[in-house]
Structure 1
Amino acid sequence: MTLRFLLLILFCSLTLTTNGQEKQGANWFIGGSYNNNGLPPFPGIHLDFNHPKISASQFLVNDLGIGAVATISDRKGKLLFFTRKGYVATRVKVNDEYQLMPNGNSPSFNPDADLIMQNPQDEQRYYIFSTWPSKHLVVREVDMRLNIGFGDVVANSLRVLKSGIGIGMAAMLHANNKDFWLITSGFSGDSLLAFPVNAAGIGVPVVSLINRNLDPMSCLKSSPNSQMLVTSGKQGIELFHFNRQTGSIVPQYSLTIPDSARQKGFSFSFSPSSSKLFVGTTYKPYYHNSAIVQFDLSSGNSQHIQQSAVTLFTDSSSRSRRICDMQLAINGKIYITRGDLNQDLSEISYPDQAGFSCGFKLQSIPLSGTAINLPALNQTLFRNVSKLQAQASRDTICYGDSVQLSAYGAGAEHFQWEIANGLTSPNDTLANPIVRPTTTTIYRVIASSPFRTDTAFVKVVVRKNPEMKLNGPEEVLTLAENQEYRVSGATPGSTLNWQVSGGEIVSGQGTNRIRVNWAEARSGTVSIVENNKNGCNYSESLTVKIAGSPPPVFYNIITPNGDKLNDAFVIQNLKWYAENELKIYNRWGVEVFRKRNYKNNWQAEELSSGVYFYRFQAGSQTWKGWLEVVK
């Protein structure tokens, strides 16, 4: 193994362990709204980020209408469940309508906000945190093992964690990179609370008293690196520094909107590197304009950050009274909803770039419904979104299987895969090629945007076909018995299943050797299937020719004295000649015994000792010889 290859493996290992961003945020369910004309509610919209070309489709869950929305997928991007208006729905559809979990009905409240967080101790359990209009923070638990693997809300898991809090929530990653913090604000606007979420459960909050007048009705948004928190204050935008170890929060910057007389901060998003802050505004009374403003947090002190403000977009339409929501996606771009009746999704293509270079695009993704609330996503899921990621739909496959690769993150728009085992042109120019490797392979992708080029690697482990070898006679006589067949090279601890055609297994099923009695067919097969501990099935088979019969063998002495030794005239291999005729003659040629379909049971009962002669005929064949009777 070369040094270069060793370094490549080491680099890939480090990339996967330190920079890995998986796809828990790949599915978005955007809340719709009630129709102002008294018609049924607008359906929600499902956005799928598993592919570079984002797909948008409508979804229904019993026409639940507007409300808090949160969603979670597994690390490969498959939807697990989502919330809407206090209800919890699975990924199961019936008549194109998502089905609620058995215990997923709304608990008699319509939450202002939901946030889903995985239990650090049990990857199959999730917390759903909700804020009530009545100033309560509550939690429910979902166990994905329930409801035949589609998940259910754990019975009696609803409980109130704290009263007197605002509607906003945010998630932070603990300094140990395993546990979490849930952040809320006090309703009085003078405190921030950090609830530890760890193996022990949800702990008592760390309360940070701050010299700020926060708006308890504003959202909270954390930075991808879990070091900053932003929300609206009564006088402007408030940024805080978060201590990931202790949970304490201290004020960092106070910023104002350039047109602060008419607008206030309403929605927020940090860029992937946490170096830029985007603020969406809402109107103040008697004004109807809204805007998107960028602040460069890396430009220096508070004064310099304030001076870095760039208004990227202004909308004075009465139809768009606010920038409703902003959310970072797994592809490294930020998506934006505007106004109560806007039916589009706007985009910031390169959010780490300063000013207009960030690539704001109005109406980037047309939607077939009304978009107001983006899903409340755990921002810790995007902590490495500034880096290009490569992933396989399955990390380990069986020999002969195919697997889909995907590349995403870093705002990448063009992808070039290096040709490797199972990956050939033209698939190497796709973001999500399907490959069929025959050996464990590390794939390399180079992706680019107008501002950068990145490289990522993904490893696919191939469980090789075991060196199974099937041994045994490949040519047998008809009706051959106890023919042994054995397999070598099977994986220890695997399950073995033998199958035989043209014969019958008489012993050894489930072991590495069997014995077979063959029938009269012209050919047969012996097959074995190994189901190993990796979930892979491998098989080997052997074709067996069945033809011919062994000649009969005649024993030429019998001693019919009752000692059960040589008492009868025995013809070996008689079963191959079931249709036969045996004749016995004395020395003068006189027939003394005749039997059709003889069964090896003549004991010369009426004859005296002496030499006799036999004539055995089966079909067109005849055998003659002598035998001696000894009494």
Structure 2
Amino acid sequence: FFYLTPTDTIPIDVKGITVAGNQTASVQTDWLVINKDFALYAEIRNSDPAEFDDTDNSIRTDFCAGPYYNLLVEAVGQGLVQRTPNQNRFEGAQVVEITAVPAAGWIFSGWQGDATGAVNPLTVNLNSDKNIEALFIESVATPAGVAGARCGSGTVTLTATGAVGAQTYAWYTQATGGTAIQNNPNPDFASPSLSATTSYYVAIRSATIESPRTEVIATVNSVPAKPIINVVGSTALCLAKQDSVRLQAPASFVSYVWTNSATTGEIVVRDPGSFAVQVINSSGCLSEISEAVVVSAAENCTELVFYNAVSANDDALNSYFRIESIDLSPETRNNRLKIFNRWGDLVFEARNYDNITNRFTGVSRKGEQLPVGTYFYVLEFDSGRPKAEGFISLKR
């Protein structure tokens, strides 16, 4: 077999074809690159063929080429490009569908070369040779952010998650545009010193590809003012009287930290000491410690006080002879009280007078109501303390 060009006759190498008797021989030419008109001849020759000639024993068939169009598709990145129909060369204008199939961990970004956009599959009206590339880029997830907070001015640490492999975290001060202020694999970002709540934005970056940005908020909470303790009562305690004083921190805080380990807004103090407090607000911020309140033991707080007006009636006011602090100290607790009338007669006597079980209510030691008038008392102590003397005015 031969095909004839305008200037040459070029043999087509067809091996292993034997023609005998009435048999026929054929050759397919679809592997030829046909880009011009040509004539194909078949001639029966012996094993030592003579010069080719266009004689009657030749069979000539004329072919008219195409037009034929080549469609070359390639993948840039990791992925496959599929054609339907699946061939490189097409006879005449045809419609071809091209599909981009990304590999795992990659995404289809768009077409380039003789096609644009990112429609997938892509319909191509093939009416000329075309070279189309499918661009695949590494998949980059949108990061998750972990906000940070602090009390008062200072640095806040923010954290992002989601990067894999060699991907990095790019931190920005704005939602779009701008230049990253930090870009490295470390998921933590330490802000500059802040005095107010500030938003930052983080993206995951792989080479020149970057994910959408995620807002991450650095919160700066206010610190409570230094508290002032309100004192209710005297800070000089008479321990013998079991005195107490109330110390109150400012209200409306969620928690309190006293130097005596108490955690309530008010404490009752019964022993000497130094007391200060810190307050904690709803953001968990701790205040500066307050000025200390010093509680001390009162001196001479067991001195006896004599209430010498006795109103012996049923109004429950001044109904007995009251000697304040008589039972607080061992020095005064063991005592003997004697009461005399104006003529010096002993009308009342009590051992270990205590204002409770032993007390003078205007009744004599014989159980008789004493007349209104002025009476005299003598109070003696077993401890050797000097005796106390005075008068009582009895009224009804």
TM-score, normalised via structure 2 length: 0.44
Higher relative helix content: 1
TM-score, normalised via structure 1 length: 0.31
